[in-house]
Amino acid sequence: MSAPVSTTHPVRCLKCRRILRRPSPDGYGPKCRQRIRREAPARLLDFNPHQVAKAVELLELGGLVPLRQNRIFLVVSDDGTEVYRTAATGQCNCPAGLRSTACYHAAAARLVHAA
């Protein structure tokens, strides 16, 4: 009898695509996570503090998944029932984004794109 073949793929950082030795719940490696947190105050001046806090929480929970070259993202809603598309430039198809209001989804996307 032969040993079972493992079909697990290595877990990669969502930002830089490097293989992670220890996967984290948010999907980012330690250097990318540190870079994202360092960039937060400078990149989010046009968002209010509540939106910045929600954006950081969204990133920590792994609710932001890059689709194309870290410019377009899938974002999970507050209650986890909806998935929105958002861009690092600020466009989002959530209810607030459709009203042309800044949303925390766009803040999280801008953070990841800037880092």
- Greater confidence (109 vs 69) lies with 109
For 60-89, the pLDDT digits (tens) are: 888 888 887 778 899 988 888 999 999 888
User: Across all residues in the chain, what is the average pLDDT?
Assistant: 82
- Name the residue among 14, 8, 104 with its Cα closest to residue 57: 104
Average pLDDT of the segment spanning 47-64 = 85
Query: What pTM was estimated for this model as a whole?
Result: 0.68
CA angle 109, 84, 39 (to 5 degrees): 10
- Name the residue among 106, 3, 5, 87 with its Cα closest to residue 46: 106
Asked if residues 92 and 75 have their Cβ atoms less than 8 Å apart, the reply is yes
